[in-house]
Amino acid sequence: MFRALGACGLLLVLSGCYASTTPLLSPSEAAYPFGAQVDYIHFDTAEVQTQGKLQREGDVYVRSEQGRDVDSHILFQHLRDEFYLVQESNAEGGGSNYDLVRIRPDIVFIYNLRCGEVTDAPAITAGAVTAAPESFGGLTCTATSLDTIRELIESKIDGAIPKEEFRILGVGP
């Protein structure tokens, strides 16, 4: 839900990510699972704890976290049950990254989705996704369609393994 943008591999060591060159999820298609503000502690893959907040500003959530230079814009799209697709875009413009998250009452999980797995092969072969190698050894799958991103992420819900968590400290109205 709250990954920093830039190189996809910063928090996804030896994994890949899903991306687009421009945001694909619009506010009219988004779900808003939180109120005006959520305070949290982020535990990353190295068990590093960072405090942050997600605050609703107009039709997006803005994520700010200690140690981050740039805020990011967050939108969610409900998939099923507690699962959401999340789009994170740099607040200063540019592309977006996409992940699968599970939102529980007191915790949010981000799942370890690997671009380039067997389930991605038909989309890559058909040209719906461009897979490019990253310096960390994974792939970045870039798509131009939200439907493609959603289908790829939904295909991985069953069996997905949480990689990061955000413990919710408090929720505003």
Residue 142: strand, helix, or coil: strand
| Amino acid 38: pLDDT | 94
- For residue 120, tell me if it sits in a domain: yes
| Amino acid 84: pLDDT | 97
| Amino acid 4: pLDDT | 33
| Amino acid 3: pLDDT | 38
- For residue 3, tell me if it sits in a domain: no
| Amino acid 100: pLDDT | 95
- For residue 29, tell me if it sits in a domain: yes
Q: Are 54 and 38 in contact (CB under 8 A)?
A: yes
- For residue 140, tell me if it sits in a domain: yes
The residue with tokens 């789009």 is 87
Range of the domain at 105: 8-171
Q: Specify the number of domains making up the chain.
A: 1
Q: Are 142 and 116 in contact (CB under 8 A)?
A: no
Q: Are 75 and 27 in contact (CB under 8 A)?
A: yes
List b or e across 114-143, with b for residues whose CB sees 16 or more CB atoms inside 10 angstroms: bbbeeebeebbeeebbebeebeeebbbbbb
- For residue 2, tell me if it sits in a domain: no
Compute the 3-state secondary structure of the chain and give helix, strand, coil in percent, each to the nearest 5. Answer: 15, 45, 40
Q: Are 3 and 97 in contact (CB under 8 A)?
A: yes
- For residue 32, tell me if it sits in a domain: yes
- For residue 166, tell me if it sits in a domain: yes
Q: Are 34 and 56 in contact (CB under 8 A)?
A: yes
Render each residue's pLDDT in the chain as its tens digit; 173 residues: 443 333 343 333 334 588 999 999 999 999 999 999 999 998 877 777 889 999 999 999 999 888 776 788 999 999 999 999 999 998 777 889 999 999 999 999 999 787 777 677 777 777 788 877 765 567 788 899 999 999 989 988 998 889 889 999 988 87
Q: Are 49 and 42 in contact (CB under 8 A)?
A: yes
The residue with tokens 């790829």 is 152
- For residue 1, tell me if it sits in a domain: no
